[in-house]
Amino acid sequence: MAANASPRRTVSGGDSPTIFAGVDTHKDTHHVAIVDELGRPITDREFLAVGSGYRRIVEFLHEHGIVEAIGVEGTGSYGAELTRVLTRAGIRVLEVAHANRSERRLRGKSDPLDAWQAALAVAVGKGITTPKQRDGDVESMRVLLAERSSATKARTASINQIHCLLVSAPEDIRKDFRRYNGDKLVSALVRSRPSAGTSPVSMIRASAKRLAQRHQTLTADITQIDRQLSALTSRQNPALMAASGVGPVVAAHLLATIGDNPGRVATKAQFAALCGVAPIPASSGTRQRFRLSRGGDRQANAALHRIVLLRKRHKEARTMAYIARRTAEGLSDRDIVRCLKRHVANEIFALLTDPDVALPNGPRLRQRRQTLGVVLTEAANQLNVPYQRLRRFEIGQRADPALEMTFSTWLDTRSRQHESKQIAA
């Protein structure tokens, strides 16, 4: 510990005091510090970030008393495995923020100091949160979302490079592909047969073909990821998937935000702050005002934004009535969208914390269709009804008793066929 820290205290073999601990995590080592109930340092030690090191950390903690709680920095990165080991050992784990900058300016920075600061934060209950569990379907979604994000960016980069190549290419090349666009352009480039050689024309054709092949490969990867996300989200929270404006990717982002243990977020206000849709007070004196929050999980914020835009585009009844009322009050479109995002966050929080909530008939049948893996277009064709009519019924935009009866009967038939195939397999 630092020279200006309180002197360490030793614990006799017969004592079993209550202690708090903090861990400064790194890729190769973890530094553990222990303090008493008053925040006074007891001891600290460095351990290797390997299986044997994790076991020694648990033994080290029990040697010095009864562990009330331990604060770990980076429970989602360097401290992920340590968090799992400590939880399995029955120790309460809390996530702590990085060391306070003012404390660093006063005391300096080192691994022992950071570990002591984490332990002190747990002892006083400041700057701590319950970490996400990473042992369920939601963790699988998080992994898939990270892969999908990189694949989407790479696919966009490949098609942009193709367009850049063709814009500056000689006319002999441009005329061959001028009539194509989008996926048709990619398919035409994949079918092309560049001639061997090192001339600029040959290199442009060969490079464009390789970029097109990369684009197709990434598209196939994204399609596979979307199928897996759809299966996971439908199994994890079918009520969320049945909500208006929510698809597999949006649902996965919202579930990943709250984690495998949704109980760690206690109120809808906390969830709104976590998603960055809770206005921040910015009042002074007699002036009362709020400012836009730019914190929170930006992916969750973007997911809520997409839900609002989809509900506006499809003219959902509740959304349009709210927009009309707030417009009459003089709010701008941007402010109305921000208000809608907060209302949607409250609705989503209820679905995340109570996935067994009863659904209206339309969304309930939509949930059954998605569970069977039937796309909306196929269902509309099989029922011989207009696509938009079935879509509006599914999202709860309109009641349709006749369609409800027909749709339910058809889904019963598909369900029996699906069960028969599974038995035969």
Q: What is the DSSP string of 25-69?
A: E-SSEEEEEEE-TT--EEEEEEEESSHHHHHHHHHHHHHTSEEEE
Structure confidence at residue 1 as a pLDDT band (50, 70, 90): very low
Whole-number pLDDT of residue 10 = 45
Domain 361-424 has CATH 3.30.160: no
Fold of 18-129: Nucleotidyltransferase; domain 5 (3.30.420)
pLDDT tens readout for residues 13-37: 456 789 999 999 999 999 999 999 8
Please, what is the Cα angle at 278 between 131 and 305, to 5 degrees? 90
Tokens of 185: 């352009």
Least confident window among 73-87, 206-220, 380-394: 380-394
Whole-number pLDDT of residue 353 = 87
**Measured distance CA(385)–CA(182) in Å, rounded:** 30
β-pairing, 93-96 with 66-72?
A: parallel
Whole-number pLDDT of residue 205 = 92
Top-confidence residue, 165 or 368: 165
Structure confidence at residue 105 as a pLDDT band (50, 70, 90): confident
Top-confidence residue, 149 or 402: 149
Task: Please state, in angstroms and as integers, the Cα–Cα distance from residue 25 to each residue in 35, 46, 93, 97, following that order.
Answer: 17, 10, 14, 12
pLDDT tens readout for residues 47-98: 999 999 999 999 999 999 899 999 999 888 999 999 999 999 999 999 998 7
Q: What is the mean pLDDT of residues 317-342?
A: 91
Whole-number pLDDT of residue 244 = 82
**Measured distance CA(417)–CA(378) in Å, rounded:** 16
| Mean pLDDT (the chain, rounded) | 87
- Identify the H or E element spanning 22: strand 18-25
